[in-house]
Amino acid sequence: MKYRYVIHPLLNGRCVIAGNHAFHEGDPTESWPYSCYLWLILGGERPVLVDTGLDNVEEMNRGAAHVLRQPITQEPGQTTREQLARFGLKGEDIGAVIITHLHFDHAGGLLAPWQEGQPPRLLFPNARFLVGAAHWARARQPHPRDRASFIPELAGLLEASGRLEVVDGPHSEALGEAVRFHVSDGHTPGLLLAEIGGEGGVVFCADLIPGRPWVHLPVTMGYDRAPELLIDEKRRFLEDMLARVQGRVDHVRLDRVPPLAAPLLLERGRVPVEGRGRERLAEAAAARLLEEAGLADLT
């Protein structure tokens, strides 16, 4: 079945991170700009969010001070609430939230703004919360190495909501075949990649490929839990995507690279194509040569 959705990337904040955190074995004296996005999916029965972005920027700047070269900033209109309001939506209107993983920069927006003397509480009161099974286990019992990436109260609040769905397969009960899930373990165990629109849709790579520099196979982030595993996962993912489009890529010249384009960028000579993807490219090239020679009917 084909589905038709409109995907809106919503800028949630910017920061500058140290080179040794941006890249595995990176230069700690270098600085790299980084943008935080969440994604609004329209076209289904109810709106869907992929991740929820940042919540308390001041608190997150304190917690991530060792990573940041410049603090996280949010311009007016960039909070999750303000971004939804641009589309005439409130948190109550969201039908599902796909949480790629529960690190604070992806899931902090699940919580209401901090108020002194008030306990933490969840937003999106009518939404189902979708989390990968392996990642849910990690979030409930974080490893000492990545404990600081999780918001301590969040797992308990999600479990108590009665609206948590732990995804352990390619599809969820809440979204059915409209969204196909893939799993990556290199950045954090059980990270969900959401393929919107079912087979052949747009895939949100989250921190498997967080931006353009990380498309290159050897490049990983400094805080990926298993860099070599992530590279292997990235190779399989890109080969699968390239094989599925059968080498047909529309090249559009842009003055900047939009976030959705990052998983699709393959710079010549930088990212080798292996396996089925290489075979499909060779087949497509041969077909083009035959067609240009007027011999297409011979195939």
Q: Measure CA 216 to chain center.
A: 17
Give the phi and the psi of residue 40 in degrees, each rounded to 5. Answer: -105, 125
Q: Average model confidence (pLDDT) for the chain?
A: 83
Rounded (5°) CA angle 99-105-107: 30
Higher confidence at residue 211 or residue 246?
Answer: 211
Burial class (CB in 10 A: 0-12, 13-18, 19+), 251: exposed
What pLDDT, on the 0 to 100 scale, is given for residue 279? 58
* CA separation for the pair 212, 12 (Å, rounded): 18
Residue 49 lies in a domain: yes
Tokens 């589309």 belong to 87
Residue 168 lies in a domain: yes
The answer to whether residue 270 scores a pLDDT higher than 50 is no
The band of 145, judged by pLDDT with boundaries at 50, 70 and 90, is confident
Residue 120 lies in a domain: yes
What pLDDT, on the 0 to 100 scale, is given for residue 117? 87
The number of domains in the chain is 1
Q: Kindly report, residue by residue over 26-41, the tens digit of the pLDDT.
A: 888 888 888 888 999 9
For residue 278, give the CATH number of its domain: 3.60.15.10
Higher confidence at residue 165 or residue 118?
Answer: 165
Tokens 């920061």 belong to 15
User: What domain range includes position 176?
Assistant: 6-298
The band of 1, judged by pLDDT with boundaries at 50, 70 and 90, is low
The band of 199, judged by pLDDT with boundaries at 50, 70 and 90, is low
Name the pTM for this structure: 0.80
What pLDDT, on the 0 to 100 scale, is given for residue 262? 43
Residue 1 lies in a domain: no
Tokens 């710079």 belong to 267
Q: Where are the beta strands (DSSP E) in 185-257?
A: 191-196, 202-204
Q: Which of 81-90, 125-134, 190-199 has the lowest mean pLDDT?
A: 190-199
Higher confidence at residue 59 or residue 259?
Answer: 59
Residue 252 lies in a domain: yes
Residue 150 lies in a domain: yes
Give me the mean pLDDT over the 139-154 stretch: 91
What pLDDT, on the 0 to 100 scale, is given for residue 268? 37
Q: Kindly report, residue by residue over 275-298, the tens digit of the pLDDT.
A: 555 555 566 666 766 676 666 665
Residue 145 lies in a domain: yes
The answer to whether residue 59 scores a pLDDT higher than 50 is yes
Give me the mean pLDDT over the 223-248 stretch: 84
Residue 83 lies in a domain: yes
Sheet with 179-184, edge to edge strand ranges: 179-184, 191-196, 202-204
